[in-house]
């Protein structure tokens, strides 16, 4: 194929940068080379924290006036897995039958490429935004998310940098460009329950206290009863136990301890603190239940001995209500695709959970079907379609901002 649209050319260059978290891989240089000639001021900041990898972040701004419309995303990608299973090399950016293959094609180098191309088109048409356009790009969204978006946002706030609205280019659409705009996300809390028992021989259970019995009772208590039935804006709260472990390789040894990991996605009925309180209430009731535990010779066993350790940072539930941002993007989607997008809060989490503390934020990008898969790919027509939506959105947003 001799001709590539601007978005496809940018995406191919980005895919060819092996930026597996937290490696930068040259992707930020690709963006610098496209944005500097347009007049963007570029800032690259590396942040460090003990026990986590260093991450280089990228902030670029065109103009000084308000409002500052920001596009946020990440150039880091998940590992490709066994590269022999790929039809095309994961970092080759090959094109076949109008489809580009490569890790990050949809999650989310493709979204970044489309927004850069949209800005190029906006400026080439002679339009100047009645405000500012900026890019906030990180390299650890797929990793610990410690030295990336949250760190660069804190730094920008310290510098007095104001962001007024933000679009995150995550692949939000399940079937076609224009299906879904995400206007919020459920909160997330992760934790680990550890039960302490008494190790012993499996043939002499009366001399031991098997912690597996207790961990089964505790996890059953977390899973048995629904937390709620959902709200007008959010689906029901959902808790999943993601692993149960004893670290015991022997068949005839009762383990000394057992642990279970869990994650709960909660809606706006709850806060991180109140959902933790409910989890702990359920565990306390289950720990006192002797039904699964063998009694002692002189009576029932005391309550199960356990502790709960939460992951360091919860993600808080949020809902964006900025009608100017949501309306401009919805109208742009409808203008280009002919469909009015659904406004949802479903799915996992993204860096929008950090950005929402700074400004109104929504998410809209490519089709999500192949993200994180072998042969991750995007059609060239979808790249051009998303570029058109972004281009129309930029124009619409600033028109309304000036009214």
Residues with catalytic function: 76, 141
Pairing of strands 257-266, 187-196: antiparallel
Q: CA-to-CA distance for 351 and 140, rounded, in angstroms?
A: 10
Q: CA-to-CA distance for 364 and 172, rounded, in angstroms?
A: 5
Phi, psi of 357 (to 5 degrees): -80, -10
Q: CA-to-CA distance for 150 and 138, rounded, in angstroms?
A: 9
Q: What letter does residue 47 receive in the DSSP assignment?
A: E
Q: What letter does residue 370 receive in the DSSP assignment?
A: T
Contact between 358 and 148 under an 8 Å Cβ cutoff? The reply is: no
Pairing of strands 342-344, 180-182: parallel
Which structure tokens are listed for 141?
């969204």
Residue pointed to by tokens 């005391």? 302
Q: Is the dihedral of CA 292, 297, 301, 307 positive or negative?
A: negative
Instruction: Note the residue count of the chain.
Output: 403
Q: CA-to-CA distance for 115 and 62, rounded, in angstroms?
A: 14
Whole-number Cα distances in Å, 140 to 20, 47, 77, 146: 9, 11, 8, 8
Which structure tokens are listed for 267?
């809606």
Q: CA-to-CA distance for 87 and 122, rounded, in angstroms?
A: 36
Q: In terms of Cα–Cα distance, which of 106, 305, 359 is closest to 196? A: 305
Long-range contacts of 289-295 (CB under 8 A, 24+ apart): 289/217, 291/217, 292/213, 292/214, 292/216, 292/217, 293/209, 293/210, 293/213, 293/214, 293/217, 294/205, 294/206, 294/209, 294/210, 294/213
Pairing of strands 318-319, 184-185: antiparallel
Contact between 250 and 194 under an 8 Å Cβ cutoff? The reply is: no
Contact between 368 and 173 under an 8 Å Cβ cutoff? The reply is: yes
């Amino acid at each position: 194929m001799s001709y590539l649209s601007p978005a496809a050319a940018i995406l191919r260059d980005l895919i060819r940068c092996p930026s597996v978290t937290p490696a930068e891989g040259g992707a930020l240089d690709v963006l610098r080379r496209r944005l500097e000639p347009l007049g963007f001021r570029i800032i690259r900041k590396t942040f460090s924290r003990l026990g986590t990898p260093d991450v280089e972040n990228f902030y670029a701004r065109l103009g000084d006036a308000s409002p500052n419309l920001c596009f946020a995303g990440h150039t880091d990608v998940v590992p490709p897995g066994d590269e022999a299973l790929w039809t095309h090399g994961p970092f080759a950016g090959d094109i076949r039958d109008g489809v580009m293959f490569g890790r990050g094609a949809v999650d989310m180098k493709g979204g970044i490429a489309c927004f850069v191309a949209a800005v190029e088109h906006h400026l080439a048409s002679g339009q100047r935004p009645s405000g500012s356009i900026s890019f906030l790009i990180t390299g650890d969204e797929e990793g610990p998310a410690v030295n990336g978006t949250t760190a660069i946002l804190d730094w920008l706030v310290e510098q007095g940098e104001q962001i007024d609205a933000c679009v995150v280019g995550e692949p939000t659409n399940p079937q076609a460009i224009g299906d879904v705009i995400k206007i919020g996300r459920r909160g997330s809390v992760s934790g680990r329950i550890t039960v302490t028992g008494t190790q012993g021989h499996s043939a002499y259970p009366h001399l031991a206290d098997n912690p597996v019995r207790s961990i089964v009772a505790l996890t059953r208590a977390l899973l048995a009863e629904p937390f709620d039935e959902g709200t007008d804006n959010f689906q029901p709260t959902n808790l999943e136990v993601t692993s149960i472990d004893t670290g015991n390789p022997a068949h005839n040894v009762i383990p000394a301890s057992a642990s279970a990991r869990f994650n709960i996605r909660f809606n706006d009925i709850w806060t991180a603190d109140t959902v933790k309180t409910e989890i702990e209430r359920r565990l306390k009731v289950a720990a006192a239940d002797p039904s699964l535990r063998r009694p002692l010779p002189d009576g029932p066993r005391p309550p199960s001995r356990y502790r709960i350790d939460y992951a360091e940072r919860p993600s808080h539930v949020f809902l964006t209500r900025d009608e100017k941002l949501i309306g401009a993007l919805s109208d742009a989607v409808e203008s280009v695709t002919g469909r009015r997008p659904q406004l949802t809060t479903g799915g996992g989490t993204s860096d929008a959970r950090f950005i929402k503390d700074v400004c109104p934020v929504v998410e809209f990008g490519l089709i999500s079907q192949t993200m994180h898969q072998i042969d991750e790919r995007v059609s060239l027509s979808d790249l051009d379609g998303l570029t058109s939506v972004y281009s129309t959105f930029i124009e619409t947003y600033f028109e309304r901002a000036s009214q």
